[in-house]
Amino acid sequence: MNRKWIRYIGLCLCIWLVPSLAAAHTHLKQSTPSDGETVSQPVQKLTLVFEERIEQGGSVELRDEAGHTLKPSSVKVQGDTLEATLGPALPDGHYTAKWKIIGLDGHPMQGSFHFEVKAGKTSAGQKPSPVPKQQPTPHHDQHAAPVKRSTSSPVIWVVAILVLSTAVIVGWLFWRKPKA
């Protein structure tokens, strides 16, 4: 009896040995400043609008070119909108905003977008860079076009494994003497 139970449980465990991925559900719909935008007004506020309503506890932080992190002075979540107040207006430069939220379906999400500020305000001790900066490309998770490999298709291997396991299992099941 005990061995039976162990075999049943072992079977059930087989299926749990699957690799996993991060889940993602509620995506960013739009933001102010938007991704890749160059803003000529002083920026004191970030507004992020998501596809669905989001839970309390979302956060956003900014990173400038030098890698300094700026945390907003206050964050307000209302419905599908996250509003972050920055306090003083941002000095000119390139920024990356990293956001983390929880969708209403309970799935955590994170992402980022870039923008540039050109409002003629420089921070103390920072010279405006004379070299025109490259426009940051809008940042999406772009999958680079993969190189076609000329290996034999993995499908063949999968089929081979299937043939083998079929042979083993069917053989094992039908070869033995049936119970009278």
Partner 1 sequence: MIAWVQTLAETMAVTCLALLTGGALLSLVADDYKPVVILPHRLFPLVALIAGLGSFVPVLRLVLFLEPDTGCMEAVRLGVFLSRTGQVWLGLLVVSVLLALFLQVRDVRSSKWTAGWALFGTWMLILIKSWMGHVASVSDISGWVLQSVHLTSVCVWAGGLMVVGFFTVDTARWLSFLRWFTPTAIGCVTAVILAGWGLMGTVDPEYVASWVLPYGEALLLKQWMTAGVLVTAGVNGGWIRRKLARGEEVNPLPWMRAEAVQILLVVAITAWMSQEAAPHTVAETVQAVGVSPLFEGLFPGKWYPGLRAEWQGYLLGGLLVLWALILLAMIPLLYRQRRSAYGAVWLAGLAACAGFVGVLVWAYGG
Sheet (strand 93-102) strand order: 37-39, 108-117, 93-102, 59-64, 69-70
Footprint of partner 1 on 53-92 (CB under 8 A): 55-57, 59
Q: Is 127 in the site for partner 1 (CB under 8 A)?
A: no
Of 3, 20, 67, 127, the residue at the interface with partner 1 (CB under 8 A) is 20
DSSP 130: S
CB of 57 within 8 A of CB of 45? no
Alpha-carbon distance of 100 to 28, in angstroms, equals 10
What SS3 state is found at 124?
coil
Q: Does position 19 bind partner 1 by CB under 8 A?
A: yes
Binding residues for partner 1, total number by CB under 8 A: 56
**Closer by beta carbon to partner 1, 128 or else 162:** 162
Say whether residue 159 binds partner 1 (CB under 8 A): yes
Amino acid type, 114: H
Nearer to partner 1, 137 or 158 (CB): 158
Residue with Cβ nearer partner 1 (92 or 114): 114
